[in-house]
Amino acid sequence: MTARERYYWDLVGHLVVLNVLTASEVAEANEALDYLDDRLQNGTDEASDLLRKHAQPRWLDGKLVWADHTIPFLLMLPQPHCEPFRKMLAQPQIVRRLREMCGEGFRLDGGPFFIGGTSGTEVHKLHGAGEPHKPYVAYAKQNGASFTGAVTVSYAFSDAGAREGGFACVPGSHKSRYPIPPGLRTMDDAMGCVENPSVKAGDAILFMNGAQTHGAVPWKGANARRSILFMYAARSAARHGASRLCIDPATYWDKDTVSGMTAEQEAVMYGPSSSPQTDGPYLDLDEDGVVQVDRDFLPSLRTASDTFLQG
């Protein structure tokens, strides 16, 4: 990371890195995405059924605009189609920056997944920026270095000029101390503080996913939007991906260890994950100081998580 990049990253919470992929790498990835689209639409085998089940694809005007990230399906495509995405996993220009942004030992926590866009794609409401505060995605500084729990790398496979749609964010919001005003969240009242960076195919946007307020604005680019997002996290942060599948105490530890525990004891035996979608892991104390599982916490968490995960 250069000194200029470091300054910019710290100041605004995202960074556009130009020409991360070569033209032939972009072409290979686009071919693989065509293959994916075809499998999702026309595949009749078991693998296609699995893809459809997990990717929950959506099309608009015949263009694929969404494929989910419950499993890393792009890495699981048959050869040679998985290869462009496997190469991106440890792309040298990205590794160089993530080592500093997330700390050494960063890991893939979710994705890679696909976000598309075509004329008529709606606003993806702004989210993130510590609502609610999530220490594992927060932005922190200590001893002259900065640290971000979660950094998403979004590769562009089609061009978009500034304000032509796609990823949008509120620069500097990773340091904001106040909640996002409702009109800004929907961008009905963008308050002049939303940026929609321009990108060319092969560029990558790195952003503080969770710490910086971000979302997307409707697509107006000449060609359909194609972005692939890799959600990296610091080594000790667990948000999406496989972490949700192994948080259950009996899975994270083992059945015998947790057998016979009270619900309160079991609550602290859950594995790490953001928004675990179960009310088991939250504790509170009642008026008499007795520890109990907090059954009211989940709904509020779910609301925040829903906003966060919106497609």
Ligand X SMILES: O=C(O)CCC(=O)C(=O)O
Question: Per CB under 6 A, which of residues 88..117 are in contact with ligand X?
Answer: 115
On whether the CB atoms of residues 247 and 272 are closer than 8 A, the answer is yes
Stretch that binds ligand X, among 27-35, 73-81, 214-222, 235-243 (CB under 6 A): 214-222
CA dist 283 and 268 (Å) reads: 8
Q: Which stretch binds ligand X (CB under 6 A): 69-77, 131-139, 208-216, 278-286?
A: 208-216
Q: Which one among 229, 234, 237, 267 touches ligand X, defined by CB under 6 A?
A: 229
Q: Which stretch binds ligand X (CB under 6 A): 38-46, 76-84, 135-143, 210-218?
A: 210-218
Contact between 201 and ligand X by CB under 6 A: the answer reads no
The CA distances from residue 233 to 55, 118, 239, in Å, are: 21, 29, 8
- By beta-carbon proximity to ligand X, the closer residue of 240 and 248 is 240
Among 124, 174, 239, 244, binds ligand X (CB under 6 A): 124
Rule CB under 6 A: say whether 150 interacts with ligand X.
Answer: no
Q: How far is the CB of 156 from ligand X (least distance, A)?
A: 10
Q: Is 218 in the site for ligand X (CB under 6 A)?
A: no
- CB 203, min distance to ligand X, A: 13
Our finding on whether 228 is near ligand X (CB under 6 A) is no
Chosen residue from 118, 121, 148, 154 binding ligand X by CB under 6 A: 154
Sole residue written with tokens 């693989």: 32
Residue 63 or 124 with smaller CB distance to ligand X = 124
Does 274 help bind ligand X (rule: CB under 6 A)?
no
Q: Is residue 214 part of the contact set for ligand X (CB under 6 A)?
A: yes
Quick check: 216 binds ligand X (CB under 6 A)? Answer: yes
Candidate residues 215, 218, 280, 281; the one interacting with ligand X per rule CB under 6 A: 215
Instruction: Pick the stretch among 54-62, 74-82, 179-187, 209-217 that binds ligand X (CB under 6 A).
Output: 209-217
Q: Following DSSP, what letter does each residue of the chain receive, concatenated?
A: --HHHHHHHHHHSEEEETT-S-HHHHHHHHHHHHHHHHHHHH--SHHHHHHHHHH--EEETTEEEEE--SS-TTTTSPTTTTHHHHHHHT-HHHHHHHHHHT-TT-EEEEEEEEEEE-TTPPPEEEE-SSSS--GGG-EEEETTEEEESEEEEEEESS-B-TTSSEEEE-TTGGG--SPPPHHHHHTTT-TT--B---B-TT-EEEE-BTTB-EEEE----SS-EEEEEEEEE-TT---SGGGGGG-SHHHHS-HHHHTT--HHHHHTTSPP-SS-SSSTT-EEE-TTS-EEE-TTHHHHHHHHHHHHH--
Total residues contacting ligand X by CB under 6 A comes to 12
Q: Does 152 bind ligand X (CB under 6 A)?
A: yes
- Which residues make up the interface to ligand X (CB under 6 A)? 115, 124, 152, 154, 166-167, 209, 214-216, 227, 229
